[in-house]
Amino acid sequence: MAVPAALQAALANARQVCVLTGAGVSAESGVPTFREAGTGLWAQYSPHELATPEAFARDPALVWRWYRWRRDLVAGVEPNPGHRALARLAELVPSLALVTQNVDGLHQRAGSSGVIEYHGNLFGNRCFENGCDFSEADPPTGTAADPASGIPLCPRCGGMLRPGVVWFGEPIPSRTLRLADDAAAACDLFFSIGTSALVWPAAGLAEIAARRGATVIEINRETTDLSGRAACRLQGKSGEILPELVNCLARNRQHSL
């Protein structure tokens, strides 16, 4: 794929880049996406039975079994060239904010730092019953479990712990929301990568960026709700397109030294 000249120029001149990633970025690592027909998680499982506070209250053991399966799946895969290219991009541009809807931690494992985890982290735990504040490092977080159900218990109150992700019907934590909104508002180049751009408020970040005059670029295998409004679309796999894009920027940087 040849990187369009206009995109090369936008990248070379960008002062602040904001990247929003979605499940498609981890697809080439072997992590299922959500909405793709047949293979997407929400094509096989009901979010209403597994990813709402009501579902957890109804059957916490079922919800935990599903999240443990996802934890095991993610623990067994590796970051792909797309994740690694984004970590390298941060070293090539003056400033980069990486906002991810993914809960798999693969950006961090690829070397990205300061990642804004919009929907939380699969490996985190939160107190479901009393919202207790505790450090993940405090023993015995997640080790003490109810003997009958295997549900991990809060180190503070002894109530049930839940996975540290944002579920349907729950707000994004206010600090995360602010960091992401600020990054989108401050950037001059915004990338939406591997996301169906259907889930709000994450889908609104591209709008915030565009309203402030940023150039919006989409990288996706398919067209999405955002495609018609993006200044440039690169259609294909992020694990192939991102390394090319970043190599192209690195080459141009060397030439201009």
- Asked whether position 81 contacts ligand OAD by CB under 6 A, the answer is no
Q: How many CB atoms lie within 10 A of CB 214?
A: 23
Length of the chain in residues, anyone? 257
Binders of ligand OAD among residues 200 to 229 (CB under 6 A) are 220-222, 224
Contact between 202 and 21 under an 8 Å Cβ cutoff? The reply is no
**Angle, alpha carbons 253-14-197 (nearest 5°):** 120
In the range 95-134, which residues lie near ligand OAD by CB under 6 A?
101, 119
Q: Which residue has 């080459």 as its token pair?
A: 251
**Residue closer to ligand OAD (CB basis): 33 or 215:** 33
Region from 145-153, 171-179, 194-202, 248-256 binding ligand OAD, contact rule CB under 6 A: 194-202
Catalytic residue among 48, 83, 107, 119: 119
Within 8 A by CB and 6+ apart from 218, the residues are 191, 192, 193, 197, 224, 226, 227, 230, 232, 233, 234
Residues 6+ apart with CB under 8 A from 139: 155
Known active-site residue 119: yes
- For the bound state, the minimum distance from the C-beta of residue 120 to ligand OAD, rounded and expressed in Å, comes to 8
Of the ranges 32-40, 66-74, 90-98, 245-253, which one interacts with ligand OAD (CB under 6 A)? 32-40
Binding characters for ligand OAD, 45-74, by CB under 6 A (x = yes): ------x-----------------------
How far is CA 8 from each of CA 3, 12, 97, 217, rounded to the nearest angstrom? 7, 6, 19, 12
Q: Which of residues 139-158 bind ligand OAD (CB under 6 A)?
A: none
CA 183 vs CA 32, 74, 96, 115, 151: distances in Å = 27, 27, 9, 12, 37
Q: How far is the CB of 75 from ligand OAD (least distance, A)?
A: 18
Active site residues: 119
The footprint of ligand OAD (CB under 6 A) covers 22-24, 27-28, 33-36, 40, 51, 101, 119, 166, 194-196, 198-199, 220-222, 224, 237-239
